[in-house]
Chain A
Amino acid sequence: MGYHFEFGWLLQYYPQIVKGVLITIELIAIGGVLGISLGIFCAWVRALGPSWLRPVVASYVELIRNTPFLIQLFFIFFGLPSLGLQLSELTAANIAMVVNLGAYSCEIIRAGIQATPKGQFEAGASLAMTPFETFRHVVLVPSLQRIWPALSSQVVIVMLGSSVVSQIAAEDLTFAANFIQSRTFRAFEAYMVSTVIYLALAILLRQVLAIIGGFIFPRRLAR
C-alpha cells in the first residue's frame, strides 16, 4: 500500500506530548484526590449521614453512574454558562472528573463501610464517641483498606476516561495526539504513540496507588 511507518519525526513534537502528559497527570491527581474525598463524604452520607441528605446523594450517584462522562463534560462546559457559570476548559474538565469519580467511589467506599462489623460501631459508642467520631477514627481507614484495589481500578478508569476532555479543548495527551495528527496527517503513528503512553500511565498509576495504599494502610486488615 506504500505506507511507511515512521516514528522518528514524532520527536520534534515532544514539547506538545510532554505538555499533554503533564496535563493528563495533573487532571488525574486533582480529580483523584478531590473525587475520592467527595466519594468518602457521599459514602458517609449514604451509610450514616442525615436522612434528608441521603436521597439527594443517592440521586446524584445514580444520575452520574448512568450517563456517559462525555455528556457530563459537555453539560458542565457548554450547558452551565447559560446559568451564568463560565468555566475554563481545564476547570470544567477537573470538575467533571471529580463529579464522576465522586459518584463511583461513593458506591465502592459504601460497600467497604457496610462490610464493617457492627461491633466496631458499638465499641466506638461504648467509648462515648459520637457516630461521626467513630466513623472518622474507627471505621473509615479499614473500610478504605478493604476496597482499595477496587478504588484504584476506578481511578485508573477515570484517568483513561479523561482522554475525552480533549473534546472541550483541554490540552491533555489526546489533544496533543489530535494536534499532531492534524499537522502531519500521520494519524496512526500519533495515536499509536499516545496509546502506548496511556498504557504506561495506567500501569504507573496502578503502582503509585499501591504505594500510596502501603502508606495509608501500614497494618494488615484484621479479619
Chain B
Amino acid sequence: MIEFTLWDILRNLLLATRWTIVLSLVSFVGGGAVGLILLFLRISKRRSLRAIAKYYVELFQGTPLLMQLFIAFFGLGLFGIDVPAWLAAGLALILWSAAFLTEIWRGCVEAIAKGQWEASASLGMGRLQQMRYVILPQALKIAVPPTVGFSVQVVKGTALTSIIGFVELSKAGTVVTNATFQPFTVYGLVALIYFALCWPLSKSSQILERKLNVAHRNH
C-alpha cells in the first residue's frame, strides 16, 4: 500500500482549489451580469416585467441549488446538447447567484430616498439616465457589503457541483479520501481551505459595513 504524507494530501487539495476559485469567480461575475439585467426588470415600470423578475427570484430562492444543478446537468442533455459537468455547474451557479444578487440589489435601490427619483425626473432625465447618474451610484455604496457577503455563499455553493462530477475542492476531498482512507484529516483540511477562502470575504464584508455605518452617522 502506498503511504500518503500530509503534504501529498494538501498538495492535491490545493491543486483542486484552483477550480473552486475559477468557478466561484465565473459564477459571481456572470451572476452579477444576469442579476443586473434582472434588477432592471425588477424595478421596471411595467408590471409584467416586474412579475417575471419576481417569479424568477422566487423560483431560484425557493428550490435547492442541488436540484438546479441536476436539472441543468440532466435536463439540457435531453435537448441533444452534450453537457459537461463544468458547463452545467457554471450555468446553474450563474442563474442561482443572479437571483440572490437581484434581491440584494433591489433592497439597496429601494433604500434610496424617493425624492431622488423625483428630483432627477424633474430634471427631465429618462429612466435609464436616472438609474445611471443618480440612483445606482448611491445604491452601489450600500450594496457593496452585502454583495461581498454573498460571494461567500457562492464559494460555498460551488461545493455542490462536486455532486454532478465537477472536480473541485470537495470532489478532490472525496477522491483523496477514497485513496488514503483518512476522512478525518482530508475533510478537516478541505474545511480549512474553504475557511481560508471564505473568511477574508466575510471579514471584509463586516468591515465595509461598519465603515459605511460610520459614514452614515456623520451625515
Across the interface, name the chain B residue whose C-beta is closest to A163.
Answer: B64
Q: Count residues of A near B (Cβ-Cβ below 8 Å).
A: 39
Across the interface, name the chain A residue whose C-beta is closest to B67.
Answer: A195
User: Are B187 and A195 in contact, CB atoms less than 8 angstroms apart?
Assistant: no
76-133 of chain B: CB within 8 A of chain A = 77-80
What residues of chain B lie closer than 8 Å to A174, measured between beta carbons?
64, 66-67
181-219 of chain B: CB within 8 A of chain A = 182-184, 187-188, 190-191, 194-195, 198-199, 202
User: Are B80 and A198 in contact, CB atoms less than 8 angstroms apart?
Assistant: no
User: Are A66 and B198 in contact, CB atoms less than 8 angstroms apart?
Assistant: yes
Taken together as a complex, chains A and B put the C-alpha atoms of A188 and B182 apart, in Å, by 36
Q: Does B65 contact A (CB under 8 A)?
A: yes
For B62, give its contact among A72, A80, A191, A202 (CB under 8 Å). A202
User: Are B184 and A83 in contact, CB atoms less than 8 angstroms apart?
Assistant: yes
For the A-B complex, the count of residue pairs with Cβ-Cβ distances under 8 Å equals 120
User: Are A66 and B152 in contact, CB atoms less than 8 angstroms apart?
Assistant: yes
User: Are A163 and B177 in contact, CB atoms less than 8 angstroms apart?
Assistant: no
Q: Does A161 contact B (CB under 8 A)?
A: yes
What residues of chain A lie closer than 8 Å to B188, measured between beta carbons?
75, 79
Across the interface, name the chain A residue whose C-beta is closest to B70.
Answer: A191
What residues of chain B lie closer than 8 Å to A50, measured between beta carbons?
none
User: Are A198 and B78 in contact, CB atoms less than 8 angstroms apart?
Assistant: no
B193 to chain A, nearest CB (A): 9
Q: With A1-B78, A83-B184, A164-B160 in contact, is A66–B195 under 8 Å at CB?
A: yes
- Give B55-66 as 1s and 0s: 1 = Cβ < 8 Å from A's Cβ atoms: 000010011111
The secondary structure that dominates the A interface is helix
User: Are A195 and B63 in contact, CB atoms less than 8 angstroms apart?
Assistant: yes
B187 to chain A, nearest CB (A): 4
B176 to chain A, nearest CB (A): 12
A33 to chain B, nearest CB (A): 21
Taken together as a complex, chains A and B put the C-alpha atoms of A181 and B67 apart, in Å, by 13
What residues of chain B lie closer than 8 Å to A191, measured between beta carbons?
67, 70-71, 74-75
Q: Does A217 contact B (CB under 8 A)?
A: no
What residues of chain A lie closer than 8 Å to B174, measured between beta carbons?
74
For B194, give its contact among A66, A163, A202 (CB under 8 Å). A66
Q: Does B163 contact A (CB under 8 A)?
A: yes
What residues of chain B lie closer than 8 Å to A71, measured between beta carbons?
159, 170, 173, 187, 190-191, 194
For A164, give its contact among B78, B152, B163, B199 (CB under 8 Å). B163
Q: Does A65 contact B (CB under 8 A)?
A: yes
Across the interface, name the chain A residue whose C-beta is closest to B59.
Answer: A199
Q: With A75-B188, A163-B64, A192-B71 in contact, is A67–B194 under 8 Å at CB?
A: yes
Taken together as a complex, chains A and B put the C-alpha atoms of A168 and B65 apart, in Å, by 17
Taken together as a complex, chains A and B put the C-alpha atoms of A156 and B163 apart, in Å, by 22
Across the interface, name the chain B residue whose C-beta is closest to A181.
Answer: B74
What residues of chain A lie closer than 8 Å to B67, measured between beta carbons?
163, 174, 177, 191, 194-195, 198
List 20 extra interface pairs beyond A69-B156, A160-B62, A195-B64, CB under 8 A.
A1-B79, A65-B152, A66-B198, A66-B199, A67-B156, A67-B194, A67-B198, A68-B159, A70-B162, A71-B170, A71-B194, A74-B170, A75-B187, A78-B183, A79-B188, A80-B184, A163-B64, A188-B75, A195-B71, A199-B63
CB<8 Å pairs between A and B, sample of 30: A1-B78, A63-B191, A63-B195, A65-B198, A66-B195, A67-B156, A68-B159, A68-B160, A70-B163, A71-B170, A71-B190, A71-B194, A74-B174, A75-B191, A78-B177, A78-B183, A78-B184, A79-B184, A79-B187, A82-B184, A164-B66, A164-B160, A164-B163, A174-B67, A177-B70, A187-B77, A191-B70, A191-B74, A192-B75, A199-B59
